[in-house]
Amino acid sequence: METISLARSGRFVVTSVSSDAHMWNLVFLQLLLEERGGEVINLGACVPDEVILAECRLARPDALVVSTVNGHGHLDGLRLIRKIRSDAELADLRVVIGGKLGVRGAANAQFSAELVDAGFDAAFESEAGLAEFDSFLGALPNNDTHRRELAGAAEGGAK
Ligand code: B12
């Protein structure tokens, strides 16, 4: 069984892509992120690209987490990330995508590379499990551990 650590935080926008009607994947991600102390704005299923961009401009999340399982995600994801990276306000936003990125099972891994090349910070094919996503969350600069390290360093420096 996979073990995943707790003690994280941050603000996340969770969304699906415009073609994807599945929602339990989104509920799952919201619960997972909230369990780690994250604040989640869940935009739901079948969200138009422009709505995702507008919500991210407003919320300024630590990361946009895109989930897709219907098999079209590699196409919707490419279109979405190109819009995000060409938007002056969102070009530097941390954006990841995950789920069933195509309809090829384990071979969907090829789409992960394409999506990262196009501008996603990371792509997590569901066949690979959640360990890599857990590592991604742990590496976020504003996670609790990092805050504690900074606080500790500040206290140390004040002595
Ligand atoms: C329920 C369901 C539906 C329902 C959805 C209802 C709803 N409101 O959610 C309905 C009937 C609407 C539906 C429709 C369709 N579905 Co459907 N559906 C399912 C089903 C049976 C369960 C999905 C589910 O809820 N899983 C529970 C959640 C918690 O698990 P999950 O979605 O897999 O998410 C996990 C991982 O993928 C991963 N993950 C997901 N996102 C992310 C993101 C990140 C960042 C990370 C790290 C991880 C991650 O973490 C989650 C937990 O492990 C699956 C089959 C299955 N057993 O998975 C098919 C399935 C997803 N559907 C499928 C298909 C093809 C369709 C349709 C195209 C069918 C059709 N011809 O109409 C349509 C698409 C509609 C659309 N516009 O999107 C395929 C997708 C094929 C693929 N990608 O290889 C599946 C896999 C069935 C199959 N074996 O063929 N579906």
Average pLDDT rounded to a whole number, residues 115-141: 94
Quickly tell me which residue has 């504003």 as its tokens: 142
What's the pTM value of the predicted model, to 2 decimals? 0.91
Rounded to whole angstroms, what are the CA distances from 136 to 97, 114, 132, 141? 12, 19, 6, 10
pLDDT at 143 over 80: no
Q: Compute the distance from residue 102 Cα to the ligand 1 centre, in Å.
A: 11
- Three-state secondary structure call for residue 134: helix
Average pLDDT rounded to a whole number, residues 74-80: 98
Residue spans of the domains in the chain: they are 10-158
What mean pLDDT value characterizes the chain?
89
Topology (CATH level 3) of domain 10-158: Rossmann fold (3.40.50)
Q: Compute the distance from residue 6 Cα to the ligand 1 centre, in Å.
A: 26
Q: Give residue ranges with CB within 6 A of ligand 1.
A: 19-25, 28-29, 65, 67, 69-71, 96, 98-100, 103, 124, 126, 130, 133
Q: Compute the distance from residue 46 Cα to the ligand 1 centre, in Å.
A: 13
Q: Compute the distance from residue 70 Cα to the ligand 1 centre, in Å.
A: 6
Which pLDDT tens digit goes with each residue over 35-44? 999 999 999 9
Rounded to whole angstroms, what are the CA distances from 80 to 75, 121, 127, 154? 9, 13, 23, 40
Ligand 1 atom closest to the CA of 28, numbered from 1: 29
Q: CA-CA distance, 93 to 106, in Å (whole number)? A: 28
Cβ atoms 50, 84 nearer than 8 A = no
Res 9: pLDDT: 78
Partners of 64 in beta bridges? 13, 95
pLDDT at 155 over 70: no
Average pLDDT rounded to a whole number, residues 127-149: 77
Ligand 1 atom closest to the CA of 27, numbered from 1: 29
Average pLDDT rounded to a whole number, residues 40-64: 98
